[in-house]
Amino acid sequence: MLGIDFGTSNSAAAFVRPDGTLCPIELEAGRTTMPTALYFGADSAPVQYGSAALQAYLNATLDHEPGGRLMRAIKSLLGSRLMDERTAVNGQMVSFFDIVTLFFKELKRRSEQQLGHPVTRAMLGRPVHFVDDDLQRDALAQATLARAAHAAGFESVQFQLEPIAAAFDFERRIDRETTTLVVDIGGGTSDFTVIQLGPSRRDQPVRTQDVLSTSGVHLGGTDFDRLLDLELVMPLLGLGHVGPSGREVPSGIFHDLATWHLIHHAYARARLHQAAQLWTAYANITLHRRLMHVLQQRLGHQLLANVEAAKIACANAAHSADIDLACIEPTLHATLAPETLNQALQQPLAKVVQCARQCVANSGDRVIDAIYLTGGSSALAPLVQALEQTFAGATVVHGDRFGGVAAGLAWAGSVAAPSVAPAQHASAGDLTP
């Protein structure tokens, strides 16, 4: 059974061979993860995936080639009505569901190519909540994901909560009983699990009794990117700028440009016309010129990617990082300082930590032996510091940020019973691998 971590920003897959060895799938050359991205070039050019998609988009932007379409953060649309809506791709109307299916087909193809045999069973990860406080939409999100996996060629599809999968990966590395708080900070969600782990438990097919509590919030790395973009980059295009009338420039266009899955809306002809008419709202016409340049050259994805890169650099090195804005003006840049990072993310990280507290409270306030960190945004220094202060005495363990969930899903799949029928899918609420 192929373990698949379909992420908002990055995806990964892993497989446990019959001899019990874990095989992380090399989805790209030298990498076991690939960006969850597709690029539809102009005319009849083949669809590009992952890093190749991002590079193809960048090349098209630099060469001023119109007509291409980059799709990122498509997981964020699960559970919404947008999933079955159609969007223009190369002169054709394609549903977002079909785009998700295409990505699954490619992930399946690459996995089979490495393994050397077909794979028909999949253990998919899912967040604790696809959608906060809406059980109907949450169920719809899981059903849609299962439907896409079946359409991609998987005959049997089961689900496991992503933080529980991460726990199973961690369990393979410990030699004693451990009460663990799993913290999985992904691109779109932050998920938590308190679980009992230990060598005597790892091969049990049913682990319901070991899962003490779960919680999650629809908040993750892409939200952090958005906040930093709005804080540091969009003001250089006019966000918050007060015009001759004494009013601020309308902000809608800036919020679209700062949100991965909404950027393409900003390039629609009607939106471009509206943005062009905004020049009268600017006292500083240079800001409006920059905005129009970004829109006309379709630079939104590139800008947000540069913000993401600066966020990672600042978090890892604990010093200021430049945000490259040369695509707008040769000498234009913004600086992300550690104190700015801490301040900008203070409120969302407080929500994340509060969700972790609630998860531990729901476990009966168990004493936490270890905090296991996974997910692309789990290395943020302010988050780690807040968790250390909140759960003093617990050992903080940094796991495989991008591959840990996929590995855990593969381990879960290796001991899972076959699903009863393709049309039936294990509920995340079952909490069984």
- Axis crossing angle, helix 346-362 with helix 221-232, rounded to the nearest 10: 160
Question: Which residue type does 350 have?
Answer: A
Neighbouring residues of 30: CB distance < 8 A, sequence distance ≥ 6 = none
Tokens 């990672």, located at residue = 312
Q: Is the pLDDT of residue 421 over 70?
A: no
Angle at CA of residue 277, ends 271 and 279, nearest 5°? 125
Among 296, 314, 344, the domain boundary falls at 344
Question: Which residue type does 421 have?
Answer: A
65 and 164 co-located in one domain? yes
282 and 408 co-located in one domain? no
DSSP 266-279: GGSHHHHHHHHGGG
153 and 7 co-located in one domain? yes
Number of domains in the chain: 2
CA distance 112 to 382: 40
Cβ pair 294, 272 in contact under 8 A? no
Domain that holds residue 131: 2-171+401-430
Q: Is residue 300 part of a domain?
A: yes
Dihedral sign for Cα 411, 156, 48, 266, please: negative
95 and 244 co-located in one domain? no
| pLDDT tens, residue by residue, 6-44 | 988 899 999 999 998 999 999 999 999 999 999 988 777
Q: Tell me the three state secondary structure of residue 349.
A: helix
Cβ pair 400, 374 in contact under 8 A? yes
Among 344, 369, 391, the domain boundary falls at 344
Question: Which residue type does 220 have?
Answer: G
Among 311, 344, 377, the domain boundary falls at 344
Kind and range of the H or E element at 414? helix 404-415
Highest mean pLDDT among 81-85, 317-321, 406-410: 406-410
21 and 161 co-located in one domain? yes
* Domain CATH number, residue 24: 3.30.420.40
Helices (H), 50-126: 50-62, 96-115
- Could you give the percent of the chain with pLDDT greater than 70? 94
Question: Which residue type does 278 have?
Answer: L
pTM to 2 decimal places: 0.78
